[in-house]
Amino acid sequence: MAGRLSLGLLLSALFLSITVCHAAPLEFMKRNSYTFILDNPYGDAIFELGDVSYLANTKHPKAIVSAECEPATSIPITVIKTDVPNISEDILKSVIASYLDVDDVFNYDFLHGLYVSSTVKASLDPTAAEYLASFNTSFVFVDESVSAEGSFSKLTLSSPADLPAGPYLAKLGSNSVSFATVYRLYPDTYRTFLSGAYDTNDGNGSHSPLGVFLPKFWDPMIPVPSRIYYLDDDRPLAGERVAIKDLYDVKGLQTSGGSQAWAYITPVADSNAPSVQQILDLGGVVVGKQKLAQFASGANPWDWQDEHYPFNPRGDGWLTCSASSSGGGCSIAAYDWLDYAIGSDTGSSMRRPAAVSGTYGQRPSQGMISLERVLPLGGATDTAGVFSRDPYKWIKFSKAWYDPSLHQDVSITGLSPLEVPETNAFPKTILYPVDYLPLNNSAAEPILQEFIASMSRIFNMTVEEFNFTATVQNWTDPIASNFTTLTGATSVINRWSAWDVIGRKLVSTWKQLFNGRFPPIDYARRPGWVTFDESVVNQTAYDAALVTKNRGVEWYEANLQYSTPESCSESVLLYDIGTGGLPSFRERELNESPDASYLAVLPETAKITGANICPIFGCADFTVPIGQVPYQSNVTYHEEMVPVTINMVVKRGCDFMLYNMIEKLADEGVLKTVKTGRTAY
């Protein structure tokens, strides 16, 4: 920036003014100065302040004001809004302190410039001007209501720019000043994302992908906007940063399903999935698309080919992230700068990633939220969930997101209409299934026993040991009591939707494009799709499977988990979808040891895995972290901790009752917010 700037507002002839500025040369400053890095392909600017990287949405700025400015330049600025007449050093100090307190994007480097906007007639006190001089603040924008004198250039805006408070990149040009939203770029050090994304701000509700990565560590960079922008926004999720499993359509972004072949044959999404739209409407900010086991399969880490398997921050850093919402669970365990990750659960894909990352994650009741514009696995078994570290934040998000207007139609679920009462009609019984518990690691079981004791004390519940397998097999209905029939129906549901919507199209298109070749896809789907036989699995079979499923659900809700006048769900059933407190690793051979475990092991005397209970019976199944146990790592050769979690299952529709229960358990200190990093506690 040269010594002289000449600016004049062209907004209104009446208020036309020419400002001659004497801005301090940047070279002498200690405050880290603006360093332009590159224009990204979407026309936005990447810049650095010191060693922190930022993105500024300069193509579609938040606000533009007509002005004349020579020469053109860009400066990081901070917008402050005030309603006090005397803007003193103390006022500025406390505003800045409050910004630093709530935000990780803003820092002192954004005090290169300041924009003081005031609803009342105000002036910048000499103490404030002196304070700004201590930051070498060289440029001050003010509303007409604000007077300011000091050792900075000043530009009075004849009409206030319509901007929330916070950091911006101001671009002074020959005929305008624009204020671009800034995003801090965080490296995705655990490689849980496919790419970052940000609001295009084109008035079209579109998002742009961020194709920037950190070459030193190969990490994609993820843009997060300042939290200050949302301080006056009272929507439930205002400013909350949300990552999305790459199964959901986000307008402007490719939906890959974790497959480059699928990305090759499909266009960028031209609309948001309703479930994503709901997040945006609630004020949430989409920050990127995350990795998943390809097409939401249950592929083990060592079977991933197209994407590189994400890393789990827990323990020795070599633990599994499970599948399929692998990126989501591990990212929430990893990053304080990320608030939520959206995943999906067909057979375990939210609940098991939550278990191995020691975070909160749920499979809601069947039919809870629209999965339109989400790549399916099984139309009547798919569900959508959210990962979080904090039980209160998790509940707040879930209750707002799962709006009744987004419930699925009975034609999709094949079940009775979903009703989700907001109620404290808590269960009376804790069901402890002897065919699934105790936890496999004897050091972990006392943690579960303590949790059970607390729950039974707080809710005056009685613990009932029972045999789940025997109970179901004892039902007099030949269909509902037959696990072979029930799992067969689930398998038809899961295979048909994925083939009908993805497989058939991918295989036939690829064949046509590449001389009869089969598409390059991971092993998890290849054999099933090579031999897919529509004379066996088809729409007729699918429809019949829905009838079978409904029969199972009705028996379950009449005989196992049912409502009473006092309880939405008379019982809460506990089991573990994880490894019972043993480490499970991304490297196959490490799981062979007796002190480690594979995932999804069928307990010796059970007919189905615990994970399969709710996909079959429609119930709500939440993973909650309850503790951690040590193990000696064969990767770090050091003692490490592995999370212990438990699954809480209630009758379909009793989700909000279960949230209220979990909230109470958090109030009582039984459930806690987990930390990011190596250990959850």
**Contact residues for ligand NAG (CB under 6 A)?**
28-31, 86, 88, 90, 125, 127, 135-136, 202-204, 270, 434-435, 440, 460, 462, 467, 469-471, 473-474, 482, 484-485, 534-536, 538, 540-541, 580, 582-583, 593-597, 601, 603, 605, 631-632, 634
Which residue is closest to ligand NAG by CB?
30
For residue 498, the minimal CB distance to ligand NAG (Å) is 17
Backbone angles phi, psi at 7, to 5 degrees: -130, 145
Give the long-range contacts of residues 471-476, CB within 8 A, separation 24 or more. Answer: 471/559, 471/560, 472/560, 473/607, 475/555, 475/559
Q: Which candidate, 559, 561, 555, places its Cα nearest to that of 573?
A: 561
For residue 541, the minimal CB distance to ligand NAG (Å) is 3
CA distance 430 to 570: 9
For ligand NAG, the closer of residues 346 and 469 by Cβ is 469
Angle at alpha carbon of residue 253, lines to 247 and 257, rounded to 5°: 25
Q: CB–CB of 28/3 below 8 Å?
A: no
For ligand NAG, the closer of residues 90 and 336 by Cβ is 90
For ligand NAG, the closer of residues 364 and 583 by Cβ is 583
CA distance 58 to 44: 5
For ligand NAG, the closer of residues 261 and 582 by Cβ is 582
Question: In sequence order, what E strands does 283-421 have?
Answer: 285-290, 340-345, 361-363, 383-387
For residue 551, the minimal CB distance to ligand NAG (Å) is 13
Give me the half-sphere count of Cα atoms (radius 13 Å) on the Cβ side of residue 314: 36
Q: Can you say how many angstroms the Cα of residue 563 is from the centroid of all Cα atoms in its chain?
A: 32
For ligand NAG, the closer of residues 30 and 216 by Cβ is 30
Q: Are strands 113-118 and 139-143 parallel, antiparallel or unpaired?
A: parallel
For ligand NAG, the closer of residues 158 and 208 by Cβ is 208
My answer on whether omega of the bond before 324 falls inside 30° of 0, hence cis, is yes
For residue 107, the minimal CB distance to ligand NAG (Å) is 12
For residue 75, the minimal CB distance to ligand NAG (Å) is 14
For residue 404, the minimal CB distance to ligand NAG (Å) is 30
For residue 134, the minimal CB distance to ligand NAG (Å) is 6
Q: CB–CB of 617/549 below 8 Å?
A: no
For ligand NAG, the closer of residues 454 and 482 by Cβ is 482
For ligand NAG, the closer of residues 260 and 482 by Cβ is 482
- 3-state SS assignment for residue 168: strand
For residue 96, the minimal CB distance to ligand NAG (Å) is 13
For ligand NAG, the closer of residues 214 and 425 by Cβ is 425
For ligand NAG, the closer of residues 62 and 407 by Cβ is 62
For residue 561, the minimal CB distance to ligand NAG (Å) is 14
CA distance 100 to 109: 12
For ligand NAG, the closer of residues 70 and 668 by Cβ is 668
| 617 DSSP β-pair partners | none
For residue 467, the minimal CB distance to ligand NAG (Å) is 4
- Phi/psi region, residue 296 (left: phi>0; alpha: psi -120 to 50; beta: rest), is left
316 to 190, 245, 548, 583, 645: CA distances (angstroms): 13, 25, 44, 10, 18
CA distance 627 to 197: 34
For ligand NAG, the closer of residues 138 and 398 by Cβ is 138
For residue 497, the minimal CB distance to ligand NAG (Å) is 15
For ligand NAG, the closer of residues 87 and 368 by Cβ is 87
For residue 473, the minimal CB distance to ligand NAG (Å) is 6
Q: CB–CB of 635/596 below 8 Å?
A: no
For residue 403, the minimal CB distance to ligand NAG (Å) is 26
**Token pair of 266, please?**
């499909």
Q: CB–CB of 375/501 below 8 Å?
A: yes
User: Which position has the token pair 């064949």?
Assistant: 511
Q: Which candidate, 261, 249, 258, 240, places its Cα nearest to that of 193?
A: 258
For ligand NAG, the closer of residues 409 and 595 by Cβ is 595
CA distance 177 to 211: 27
Query: In three state form, how does the secondary structure of 518-541 look?
Result: CCCCCCCCHHHHHCCCCCCCCHHH
For ligand NAG, the closer of residues 135 and 335 by Cβ is 135
For residue 651, the minimal CB distance to ligand NAG (Å) is 18
For residue 578, the minimal CB distance to ligand NAG (Å) is 9
Residues whose CB is less than 8 angstroms from the CB of residue 222 and which lie 6 or more positions away in sequence, other chains included: 185, 186, 187, 188, 193, 196, 210, 243, 287, 288, 337, 338
Q: Which candidate, 409, 435, 403, places its Cα nearest to that of 422?
A: 403
